[in-house]
Amino acid sequence: MNKLTILCVLYPDPKNGMPKVYARDNIPKISQYPNGQLAPDMSNIDFIPGSLLGSVSGGLGLKKFLEDQGHRFIITSDKEGENSEFEKYLPEADIVISQPFWPAYLTKERIAKAPKLKLAVTAGIGSDHVDLAAAIERNITVAEVTFCNSISVAEHNVMMILSLVRDYLTQHEFAKAGLWDIADCVSRSYDLEGMHVGVVGSGRIGLAVLRRLNPFGVHLHYYDKYRLSPEIEKELNLIYHNDVSSLAKVVDIVSINCPLHPETEDMFNAQLIGQMKRGAYIVNTARGKICNREAIKQALESGHLAGYAGDVWFPQPAPADHPWRTMPFNGMTPHTSGTSLSAQTRYAAGVLEILKAYFGGEKIREEYLIVDGGALAGTGKHSYTTAA
C-alpha cells in the first residue's frame, strides 16, 4: 500500500496537561450493543482503555499503528479559517479523521481543496460536519463508528431531562453557595412521574432513551420516519406519531435524537415551538442546528418553554457570546455526551478497525458507512438525506 497522509483533527489537550492519574482504574468491557451489533475489536489496540484519547496528545491511540506502516499522521486542533493547519494540510490528505465534538467542517469548498481525499472518518457518530452531497459527487467514503457512543448520549440525555424537570442545577448552586433557601430551590421543581415524553428519532440513541425512561412511570411517545416493531411498541407502551407536530403538541418533554440533515435542519423553529404546551422542556443531544437558535432563546425568555438542555451547538466550539450559554433555564454543556472516557475507548478502537479494513482493501462494516460508492450507504441510507 502507498504511504498515505492521514490528517486528524482533535480537541486540544486539557489546560493543565494530560491527566497523570485517572478517577478510576478501569472501565467495563462492552463487547456487544443492545441490538446485537459487535463493539469494535479491542484485541489490537495500542492504548489503555479509559484513557484520554480524543485530544491531540491522545491521538486516538493511532500513532504507532500508522507510523509503523510508514504513513504520515498529522494531528492538529487548529481547524478554522484558510490559514489553519487543517486547511494547510488538506491538499495532501488521503484520509481525514474528525470528531463531532470539535468538528473539522468539510464543506464543499474544503473538499474542492482536497483532491487526494478518499476517506473521511468520524470518530464518533454524526457526519453532518461533512457536506455529504459533495462527498457523493467526489466519491469520497464517509464512515463513522456507529453505536460507539449511543448509550453514552442516552445516559446524558436522561440526566438532562431529570435535571431540568427537578431543577437540579439551581439547587446545586444554592448548596455550593452555603445557602438553605428551600422555597427558592423548589419553586420550579417538579416530578417526572406521569409526564408525557416524546422522542424525535427512535434510532440507537432514541430507543435507548425510551428504554431508560420507561421505569420512571412516564407516558412515552415517539416520531420517526420508520416505525419501531410492534413488540417494542408494546413492551414500552409507546404512542407513535407520524409527524413531529402531532408529537410536539401533546408532550411535556421533547428529546431530540435524529441526525442533522436537510429534513431536520431548523425543525424546532418558532412555529413548531409555538405549538408546544406552555412549560414544556426540550433536550437536544442531536445537533444544534435542528433547533432555531433565536426561537429557543425567545421561548425561554417568554416562559413558553420551561427549560432547554443539550450539548450540541452551532458552530462548535460555540462563541463566548452564543445566546444558549446565558439564556434563562438552560442546562447546556459543551459537546461532551459522546466523548466520555468510556466512549473514547470504543470510538478509537472503531477508527482503528475502519483504517485496517481500508488499508487491507476489505469492505468497511456496512453499519459504519454513511456515504460509499457515490451514494448514501449503510446507516447513511437509513438515517440521512442530501436534499429536503
DSSP state letters, 116-156: T--EEEESSS--TTB-HHHHHHHT-EEEE-TTTTHHHHHHH
Judged by CB under 6 A, does residue 58 bind ligand NAD?
no
Mark whether 149 is an active-site residue.
yes
What are the C-alpha distances in Å from 5 to residues 74, 363, 373? 7, 20, 21
Tell me the angle at which helices 168-176 and 150-166 cross, rounded to the nearest 10 degrees: 70
Select 55 or 149, whichever has its Cβ closest to ligand NAD.
149
Three-class secondary structure of residue 297 per DSSP: helix
Q: Which three cell numbers stand for residue 350?
A: 472503531
DSSP state letters, 190-204: ---TT-EEEEE--SH
Q: Which of 224, 252, 353, 372 binds ligand NAD (CB under 6 A)?
A: 224
Tally of helices (H runs) and strands (E runs) in the chain: 14, 13
Least separation in angstroms between CB 261 and ligand NAD: 6
Least separation in angstroms between CB 93 and ligand NAD: 24
Mark whether 316 is an active-site residue.
yes
Select 74 or 239, whichever has its Cβ closest to ligand NAD.
239
Judged by CB under 6 A, does residue 338 bind ligand NAD?
yes
Spot the catalytic one: 149, 157, 330, 344. 149
Mark whether 242 is an active-site residue.
no
Mark whether 171 is an active-site residue.
no
Judged by CB under 6 A, the stretch of 179-187, 218-226, 231-239, 320-328 that binds ligand NAD is 218-226
Find out whether 101 and 339 touch, Cβ atoms under 8 Å. Answer: yes
198 strand-pairing partners? 221, 254
Select 171 or 292, whichever has its Cβ closest to ligand NAD.
292
Q: Which of 263, 294, 301, 366 binds ligand NAD (CB under 6 A)?
A: 263
Judged by CB under 6 A, does residue 198 bind ligand NAD?
no
Q: What span, in angstroms and rounded, lies between the C-alpha atoms of 262 and 45?
A: 37
Judged by CB under 6 A, the stretch of 11-19, 23-31, 223-231, 353-361 that binds ligand NAD is 223-231
Q: Which three cell numbers stand for residue 370?
A: 454513511
Spot the catalytic one: 157, 171, 257, 316. 316
Find out whether 105 and 80 touch, Cβ atoms under 8 Å. Answer: no
Q: Which parts of this chain interact with ligand NAD (CB under 6 A)?
A: 124-126, 149-150, 153, 200-206, 223-226, 257-260, 263-264, 285-287, 311-312, 335, 337-338, 379, 382-383
Catalytic residues: 149, 287, 316, 335
